[in-house]
A and B are shown apart, each in its own frame.
Chain A
């Protein structure tokens, strides 16, 4: 295509000097999201409510996890038109979900300019063995993990951000706590392990030795660790932040509650001032009913078991 030669020339020069889609740039955006709340939204109106309440990013979806759980059927990538409308509606980053292993959905999401892709167990997996090779993309990926081994495997595939999985759509924090304690607990053990023990750690975690060594040296994951799956109240946000999550994803918890704008705002404040119980108490007052949620016994199948 001809366009204006000088413009094409400048764009080419730019490619020579500027590097886009690098791991540093991908991980960098995750750093910027720290201390914030990423909210699931299903319409541009929801997206605006989320942005007004102080969401640091939105996850554009057709159905929140609670509805996917209730309605069943195959859950797929959302309609690109909906995602584009949400991109137009807000100025904060927009994330969207692709099915586990469905690299073509991820290619589509990248082509419409989403800022982060969540390769998510909330959608129906497309591949029984392989996750997406995330190094092939310029757009950054976030992936779920239930334990440290799973987190490191996802990082070795190119994920620039890890979220503990929890159990999406339940409004029940128990699984999130379990996963977070497992990941953070193992990180602490590895950080104090003898160097000779790291090989056995790599074996038992089924994760690359180099990444285990990085965990040992830095005392943390090579990428940020956020928490998802079951957060429904400001106190939930405070709990997982105190357990080591650097930011939180809230799915059904906001728009399945009585008063989404107020609850969203309260969760944002509680996420920032997580260690100030008095403040968490103040913002928790009079929010109306939280999402109804599911107790342990009524989950049916666990979404967190998807992904390997």
Chain B
């Protein structure tokens, strides 16, 4: 079995090690000729805007679309999922995607690096320790998408920054803020003593933005036909069960041929 790993930018090396752990032969894909003979494809994590640019300049866009149409099994993680999504919310204007996965996705949907997190998720094979790095957030999934794992959805902190040390902040702003939060009570302005100031002012309009169309959970792993997509990084942890599911899929598609 030969699996191609899109190796323009991102954590392609981690995917290669993961598949090598499962005794699968891998090849880095950097030009169209590298695609010959691959039986599966991995689109790794990285920066989706950079990958979008490099896929075009490397002449890989059209050959990859043809492979996707031929139902080549694909494992996509993080930025890879963005590359496959039908709709990218807040993407760059010139950003391309393959539109092969019927989801609407938001880049950096949980915030910046400081909000990157680890969490246990559960899927059919049990509990899985997942690492999310500036992860995209799936806001909507289409009817043909099978949801494999979710995490509890949580409100995003405000996109507008809390107004510390703001010279333009005046008494009337303070009164307005106080009314917003329901008046002055026991207030610990120094927060919980962890070096932070008080809780950030949460912009109500941002709370529960998207993502919550499935009863307060976010989809973090899903499948549509031959595409297996994770917004987290199974390649960064030693657990190989997600890669095994993908390898099984490649084996099955082989039998069909």
* A255-285 interface with B by 8 A CB criterion: 268-269, 272-273, 276
B164, closest chain A residue (CB):
A111
Contact-residue size bin, chain B (C-beta under 8 Å from the other chain): 35 or more
CB distance from A168 to the nearest CB of B (A): 24
A24 in the interface, Cβ–Cβ < 8 Å? yes
The reply to whether A28 and B54 contact each other, CB–CB distance below 8 Å, is no
* A27-50 interface with B by 8 A CB criterion: 28-29, 31-36
- 12 A-B contacts (beta carbon < 8 Å): A29-B116, A31-B236, A32-B79, A33-B47, A36-B9, A51-B49, A56-B46, A91-B49, A91-B92, A139-B114, A272-B58, A276-B31
Chain A contacts to B: CB under 8 angstroms = 1-4, 7-8, 10-11, 13-14, 17-22, 24-25, 28-29, 31-36, 51, 54-57, 84, 87, 91-93, 107, 110, 113, 115-116, 138-140, 246, 268-269, 272-273, 276
Most A-side CB within 10 Å, residue of B9, B185, B237: B9
CB distance from A280 to the nearest CB of B (A): 13
Chain B contacts to A: CB under 8 angstroms = 7-14, 30-31, 45-47, 49-50, 53-54, 57-58, 78-79, 90, 92, 107-108, 112-120, 131-134, 152, 154-155, 161, 181-183, 185, 187-189, 195, 198-199, 202, 207, 233, 236-237
A residues less than 8 Å from B131 (CB atoms): 24-25, 28
The reply to whether B133 and A56 contact each other, CB–CB distance below 8 Å, is no
CB distance from A250 to the nearest CB of B (A): 14
CB distance from A272 to the nearest CB of B (A): 5
B47, closest chain A residue (CB):
A56
A residues less than 8 Å from B9 (CB atoms): 34-36, 56, 272
The reply to whether A32 and B47 contact each other, CB–CB distance below 8 Å, is yes
The reply to whether A272 and B30 contact each other, CB–CB distance below 8 Å, is yes
The reply to whether B45 and A2 contact each other, CB–CB distance below 8 Å, is no
CA–CA, A111 and B237, complex, Å:
29
CA–CA, A2 and B181, complex, Å:
6
The reply to whether A36 and B118 contact each other, CB–CB distance below 8 Å, is no
The reply to whether A36 and B47 contact each other, CB–CB distance below 8 Å, is yes
CA–CA, A54 and B55, complex, Å:
11
